[in-house]
Amino acid sequence: MAASPCIRPARIDEASVLSELCIRSKAVWGYDEDFMGLVRLAFKGMQDQVATGNVWVAIGADGEVVGMVALGPGERSDTLDLDKLFVEPQRIRTGVGRALIAHAIGEARRRGANRLTILADPYAAGFYERCGARLIGEAPSDAIPGRSLPLYEVKLD
């Protein structure tokens, strides 16, 4: 396993790099081109999201961005949502994702949230379960019309 990455706030000038990272990471699961076209549209607003201060990047030993995580508002006032968590394909299963989710949980606690919700890609569900998230149901995808996704939560209190 590689050394834990350094995690820092994302910069506006990294927005396009982060969008491309997210697309590469999502493509690992073998989705078809129509699906990936919708995914590309969903990541168009990365610059605005980075500007909110709710996006962090993992930096590898080589100084390159190797992953990213973003928080968003939850449906309840005591909840934050794990809006995005993506890792460079060649760095999947090296601890980058675990470091990013640990950072997001710590940040959610620091902001006073009692729980973190995660609308997970089905292929990532096992990862979230191994990180302590509990399946609480299904919810509609925020990016792909007509798609339902597993909904997880991490209790923070």
Is residue 1 situated within a structural domain? no
Is residue 149 situated within a structural domain? yes
How deeply is 24 buried, as exposed, middle or buried, from its count of CB atoms within 10 A (0-12, 13-18, 19+)? middle
Is residue 122 situated within a structural domain? yes
Is residue 44 situated within a structural domain? yes
pTM of the full structure: 0.93
Spell out the per-residue pLDDT of the chain, length 157, in tens: 556 889 999 999 999 999 999 999 999 999 999 999 999 998 888 999 999 999 999 999 889 999 999 999 998 999 999 999 999 999 999 999 999 999 999 999 999 999 999 999 999 999 999 999 999 999 999 888 889 999 999 999 8
Radius of gyration of the chain (CA): 15
Q: Are 139 and 46 a contacting pair, CB within 8 Å? A: no
CATH of the domain at 15: 3.40.630.30
pLDDT of 4: 80
Q: Is the dihedral of CA 47, 92, 133, 104 positive or negative?
A: negative
pLDDT of 2: 55
pLDDT of 145: 86
pLDDT of 3: 67
pLDDT of 157: 82
Is residue 144 situated within a structural domain? yes
Helix (H) or strand (E) holding 130: helix 125-130
Half-sphere exposure of 95 (CA within 13 A, CB side): 9
Domain housing 90: 6-155
pLDDT of 102: 97
Starting at the edge strand found earlier in the chain, the sheet holding 134-140 runs 6-9, 55-59, 65-73, 79-87, 115-119, 148-155, 134-140
Structure tokens, 36: 């990936």
E-assigned strand segments in the chain: 6-9, 55-59, 65-73, 79-87, 115-119, 134-140, 148-155
Total number of domains constituting the chain: 1
